[in-house]
Amino acid sequence: MQLPSPQLLADIDTSLAAISTSEPAAAGPHWGAMHKLLLKAKVDSRALLRLIGMRDLTALNATIRQLHGEVVETTPCDHPPAEVGFDPALLQTALKTFRRRIKFAQLDADSRLARSPLSGGSSPQINSMIPPREFPLAVWDALVQTGKLRREGGGFYALTDDNSQAHW
Protein backbone atom coordinates (compact mmCIF):
# COMPACT_ATOMS: atom_id res chain seq x y z
CA MET A 1 0.00 0.00 0.00
CA GLN A 2 1.28 3.44 -0.92
CA LEU A 3 1.57 5.83 2.00
CA PRO A 4 -0.64 8.93 1.73
CA SER A 5 0.75 12.46 1.84
CA PRO A 6 1.71 13.91 5.23
CA GLN A 7 -1.06 16.53 4.95
CA LEU A 8 -3.68 13.83 4.32
CA LEU A 9 -2.38 11.84 7.30
CA ALA A 10 -2.59 14.95 9.47
CA ASP A 11 -6.21 15.52 8.33
CA ILE A 12 -7.05 11.88 9.08
CA ASP A 13 -5.52 12.17 12.57
CA THR A 14 -7.52 15.35 13.22
CA SER A 15 -10.72 13.64 12.10
CA LEU A 16 -9.94 10.62 14.31
CA ALA A 17 -9.52 12.91 17.30
CA ALA A 18 -12.89 14.53 16.53
CA ILE A 19 -14.58 11.11 16.34
CA SER A 20 -12.95 9.90 19.55
CA THR A 21 -13.92 12.95 21.59
CA SER A 22 -17.50 13.40 20.38
CA GLU A 23 -20.62 11.65 21.62
CA PRO A 24 -21.62 8.63 19.47
CA ALA A 25 -24.96 10.21 18.58
CA ALA A 26 -23.28 13.42 17.36
CA ALA A 27 -20.32 11.84 15.58
CA GLY A 28 -22.10 11.32 12.24
CA PRO A 29 -20.57 14.28 10.40
CA HIS A 30 -17.12 13.33 11.67
CA TRP A 31 -17.55 9.78 10.34
CA GLY A 32 -18.61 11.23 6.98
CA ALA A 33 -15.50 13.41 6.85
CA MET A 34 -13.37 10.39 7.79
CA HIS A 35 -14.98 8.39 4.98
CA LYS A 36 -13.98 11.04 2.43
CA LEU A 37 -10.44 11.24 3.78
CA LEU A 38 -9.98 7.46 3.69
CA LEU A 39 -11.28 7.37 0.11
CA LYS A 40 -8.59 9.92 -0.79
CA ALA A 41 -6.04 7.68 0.94
CA LYS A 42 -7.17 4.83 -1.36
CA VAL A 43 -8.32 2.45 1.40
CA ASP A 44 -10.14 -0.63 0.06
CA SER A 45 -13.73 0.47 -0.57
CA ARG A 46 -15.35 -2.74 0.74
CA ALA A 47 -13.38 -2.64 3.97
CA LEU A 48 -14.07 1.08 4.23
CA LEU A 49 -17.81 0.60 3.81
CA ARG A 50 -17.88 -2.00 6.58
CA LEU A 51 -15.64 0.15 8.80
CA ILE A 52 -17.66 3.35 8.42
CA GLY A 53 -21.05 1.62 8.32
CA MET A 54 -20.47 -0.18 11.61
CA ARG A 55 -18.66 2.80 13.14
CA ASP A 56 -15.95 0.50 14.38
CA LEU A 57 -13.44 2.71 16.20
CA THR A 58 -11.02 -0.18 16.88
CA ALA A 59 -10.81 -1.12 13.19
CA LEU A 60 -10.53 2.57 12.27
CA ASN A 61 -7.52 2.94 14.57
CA ALA A 62 -5.92 -0.16 13.02
CA THR A 63 -6.53 1.16 9.50
CA ILE A 64 -5.03 4.53 10.36
CA ARG A 65 -1.98 2.85 11.92
CA GLN A 66 -1.55 0.92 8.65
CA LEU A 67 -1.72 4.21 6.73
CA HIS A 68 1.10 5.51 8.94
CA GLY A 69 3.18 2.49 7.89
CA GLU A 70 2.79 0.31 10.98
CA VAL A 71 2.27 -3.44 10.71
CA VAL A 72 -1.07 -4.33 12.29
CA GLU A 73 -2.40 -7.79 13.10
CA THR A 74 -5.93 -8.24 11.79
CA THR A 75 -8.58 -10.72 12.85
CA PRO A 76 -10.57 -12.61 10.21
CA CYS A 77 -14.00 -11.87 11.71
CA ASP A 78 -16.55 -9.63 9.99
CA HIS A 79 -17.07 -7.44 13.02
CA PRO A 80 -15.81 -7.46 16.58
CA PRO A 81 -17.80 -9.36 19.16
CA ALA A 82 -20.48 -7.39 20.94
CA GLU A 83 -19.50 -5.71 24.15
CA VAL A 84 -21.75 -6.90 26.93
CA GLY A 85 -20.75 -4.23 29.43
CA PHE A 86 -22.86 -1.36 28.07
CA ASP A 87 -24.61 1.01 30.40
CA PRO A 88 -28.24 -0.16 30.82
CA ALA A 89 -29.44 3.41 30.25
CA LEU A 90 -27.67 3.45 26.86
CA LEU A 91 -29.25 0.13 25.89
CA GLN A 92 -32.67 1.39 26.98
CA THR A 93 -32.23 4.60 24.97
CA ALA A 94 -31.14 2.62 21.89
CA LEU A 95 -34.12 0.28 22.20
CA LYS A 96 -36.50 3.22 22.64
CA THR A 97 -35.04 4.87 19.53
CA PHE A 98 -35.45 1.62 17.58
CA ARG A 99 -39.08 1.26 18.68
CA ARG A 100 -39.86 4.85 17.68
CA ARG A 101 -38.29 4.44 14.26
CA ILE A 102 -40.28 1.25 13.62
CA LYS A 103 -43.45 3.04 14.73
CA PHE A 104 -42.80 6.05 12.49
CA ALA A 105 -41.92 3.84 9.52
CA GLN A 106 -45.22 1.97 9.98
CA LEU A 107 -47.16 5.24 10.29
CA ASP A 108 -45.48 6.53 7.15
CA ALA A 109 -46.39 3.38 5.24
CA ASP A 110 -49.99 3.55 6.50
CA SER A 111 -50.39 7.20 5.49
CA ARG A 112 -49.87 6.62 1.79
CA LEU A 113 -53.00 7.47 -0.16
CA ALA A 114 -52.39 5.24 -3.14
CA ARG A 115 -52.19 1.51 -2.69
CA SER A 116 -50.93 -0.81 -5.37
CA PRO A 117 -53.74 -2.67 -7.15
CA LEU A 118 -51.54 -5.76 -7.07
CA SER A 119 -51.27 -5.78 -3.28
CA GLY A 120 -54.97 -6.27 -2.67
CA GLY A 121 -55.23 -2.92 -0.94
CA SER A 122 -53.79 -4.17 2.33
CA SER A 123 -51.36 -1.96 4.17
CA PRO A 124 -47.76 -3.14 4.50
CA GLN A 125 -46.52 -4.39 7.85
CA ILE A 126 -43.07 -3.16 8.82
CA ASN A 127 -41.55 -5.63 11.24
CA SER A 128 -37.82 -5.01 10.90
CA MET A 129 -35.40 -2.29 9.90
CA ILE A 130 -31.75 -1.33 9.78
CA PRO A 131 -30.95 0.11 13.22
CA PRO A 132 -30.29 3.83 13.62
CA ARG A 133 -26.66 4.84 13.15
CA GLU A 134 -26.58 7.00 16.25
CA PHE A 135 -25.48 3.90 18.17
CA PRO A 136 -22.65 1.52 17.25
CA LEU A 137 -23.37 -1.97 15.98
CA ALA A 138 -22.10 -3.45 19.24
CA VAL A 139 -25.07 -1.85 21.06
CA TRP A 140 -27.52 -3.64 18.75
CA ASP A 141 -25.63 -6.91 19.18
CA ALA A 142 -25.83 -6.46 22.96
CA LEU A 143 -29.61 -5.97 22.64
CA VAL A 144 -29.75 -9.20 20.61
CA GLN A 145 -27.83 -11.00 23.36
CA THR A 146 -30.25 -9.69 25.99
CA GLY A 147 -33.21 -10.92 23.93
CA LYS A 148 -34.75 -7.52 23.20
CA LEU A 149 -34.01 -7.67 19.45
CA ARG A 150 -33.38 -10.40 16.91
CA ARG A 151 -31.33 -10.41 13.73
CA GLU A 152 -33.33 -10.71 10.52
CA GLY A 153 -30.35 -10.87 8.14
CA GLY A 154 -28.94 -8.31 5.76
CA GLY A 155 -28.29 -5.85 8.59
CA PHE A 156 -31.97 -5.77 9.62
CA TYR A 157 -33.12 -6.17 13.20
CA ALA A 158 -36.62 -6.77 14.59
CA LEU A 159 -38.23 -6.52 17.98
CA THR A 160 -38.76 -9.84 19.69
CA ASP A 161 -42.37 -10.93 20.16
CA ASP A 162 -42.46 -10.00 23.85
CA ASN A 163 -41.24 -6.43 23.02
CA SER A 164 -43.30 -5.76 19.89
CA GLN A 165 -46.37 -4.55 21.82
CA ALA A 166 -44.49 -2.33 24.27
CA HIS A 167 -45.94 0.99 25.27
CA TRP A 168 -44.42 4.13 23.87
**Is residue 116's pLDDT more than 90?**
no
**Is residue 82's pLDDT more than 80?**
no
Q: How far is CA 65 from CA 11, 147, 156, in A?
A: 14, 36, 31
- Per-residue 3-state assignment (H helix, E strand, C coil) for 87-136: CHHHHHHHHHHHHHHHHHHHHHHHCCCCCCCCCCCCCCCCCEECCCCCCC
Interval 86-114: pLDDT, tens: 788 889 999 999 999 999 988 888 777 66
Q: How far, in Å, CA of 96 to CA of 63, rounded?
A: 33
Instruction: Decide if 141 contacts 54 (C-beta within 8 A).
Output: no
pTM of the model: 0.48
Q: How far, in Å, CA of 127 to CA of 99, rounded?
A: 10
**Whole-number mean pLDDT of the chain?**
79
**Is residue 3's pLDDT more than 60?**
yes
Interval 29-59: pLDDT, tens: 888 888 888 888 888 777 777 778 778 788 8
